[in-house]
Structure 1
Amino acid sequence: MLPDPYDVQLAAPVHGTVVEAERGSLPFTLIHGEALVACAAWALGEAGVRAVDVGRPWRWVVEEGGPLVLHDALCPMTPATFVRACIDRTVADDVVVVAVRPVTDTVKQVAAGLVGETVDRDGLYVVTSPIVLPEAVVAALSGLPSHDFAVLAAALRERFPVVTLEAPAEGRRVSSPDDVRLLEALTTP
């Protein structure tokens, strides 16, 4: 029998939530016949995360203890194994972990309204999901500074140690129905 990869003894349970606020109706778009938000929730469950209702008071999350996983409903196909790797890194190093993907679009500088030189993409990343907060960070916050993951990551970086982990391709963030169709094609077995 193979060992359970999630059989890690933690001091406190890992709680998490799927963030769908401020994302319009896109989280309820179907991928592989299921809503994006449902797929994201399943990934949390498969990673051993106890679901927390977004409506819970922050003090409850603090009192429960343990790390908190924030999973973006617009990154529905992020593998549970990657979510768990982010949790493990948070627990091992007591740091905020922010998942990222490399920027693949061409990025240009703009000055005085004119398009200028192309920016080197090496080292440019887009924030995806999850963001994992260690217990001490959860306790230090009075709530989430933002539901926008890029804004949240920047706010956390100002106050706490943050590391990034590169998410796999299926962990990309969708921003339109066309993106959903592309992700569905990418993740069809």
Structure 2
Amino acid sequence: MVLDEDRGSLPFTLIHGEALVACAAWALGEAGVDIVDATVVWEAVTEAGEDFVLHDSLCPMTPPDFIAACIEQARSSGHAVVGVRPVTDTVKALSDGLVGDTLDRDSLLAVTSPLVVPAGVVVALARRPVSDLAQAVADLAAAGHPVETLPAPTEGRRVTSADDVRLLGTLTDARG
């Protein structure tokens, strides 16, 4: 499933002449994933007995081979697998409205895409994971489903603005 809900108009911004959401869908297809429309009821997904892949349209240039690697890891471990990137921003603790200590970035990860839920976990879920992948990971973990991480390549980064899209476009320009 390509996630575009609750993301404003950014999924329809162009990168290399194509909408981000289209690039994300093509990456899923090239990874061998059958795309499920958001209107498909969860019961139909669980009855299919297959893995469920959520791919964020704001991670449009995630390579298909990375998506396939996440699927393979989820199938072999039986655990959900999520792509992650290192945290590069300074992160501060907040307590009672006051800014506190700086957190160690090396101990933090930024959730990117995809989130692969293996078939054995899919059947145990009462509803589709939420479209916010970080929250979906937290929900799975809270429900007792281990979630493994796999470092995503640079081109798998998440964009949050038109400036990010331009940067990602430069990073992934096939002309070198």
Aligned to 1:63: 47
* Rounded Cα–Cα distance in structure 1 between residues aligned with 2:42 and 2:95: 43
* Rounded Cα–Cα distance in structure 1 between residues aligned with 2:27 and 2:129: 24
Amino acid across the alignment from 2:151: E
List gaps (5 residues or longer) in structure 2. Answer: none
* Rounded Cα–Cα distance in structure 2 between residues aligned with 1:126 and 1:71: 15
Out of 147, 150, 158, the position equivalent to 1:173 is 158
* Rounded Cα–Cα distance in structure 2 between residues aligned with 1:113 and 1:174: 28
DSSP-derived class of the 1:122 partner? helix
Amino acid across the alignment from 1:116: G
- Once the two structures are superposed, residues 74-98 of structure 1 have per-residue CA deviations (whole angstroms, 9 ceiling, x without a partner) of 0000000000000000111111001
Is it true that 1:152 corresponds to 2:157 in the alignment? Answer: no
Alignment of 1:71-86 (within 5 A): 71-86=55-70
Q: CA deviation at 1:144?
A: 2.0
Is it true that 1:101 corresponds to 2:85 in the alignment? Answer: yes
Contact 1:79/1:171 (<8 A) preserved:
yes
Amino acid across the alignment from 1:48: G
Aligned to 1:31: 15
DSSP-derived class of the 1:105 partner? coil
Residues matched between the structures, number: 173
Alignment of 1:79-158 (within 5 A): 79-158=63-142
Residues 60 and 111 of structure 1, relative CA distance in 2, 3 Å threshold: closer
Q: CA deviation at 1:113?
A: 4.0
- Once the two structures are superposed, residues 87-122 of structure 1 have per-residue CA deviations (whole angstroms, 9 ceiling, x without a partner) of 000111111001111100111233454433322101
* Rounded Cα–Cα distance in structure 2 between residues aligned with 1:112 and 1:162: 30
Contact 1:58/1:143 (<8 A) preserved:
yes
List gaps (5 residues or longer) in structure 1. Answer: 1-16
* Rounded Cα–Cα distance in structure 1 between residues aligned with 2:96 and 2:124: 41
Residues 141 and 186 of structure 1, relative CA distance in 2, 3 Å threshold: same
TM-score with structure 1 setting the length: 0.88
Aligned to 1:162: 147
* Rounded Cα–Cα distance in structure 1 between residues aligned with 2:93 and 2:75: 39
Q: CA deviation at 1:161?
A: 1.5
Aligned to 2:33: 49
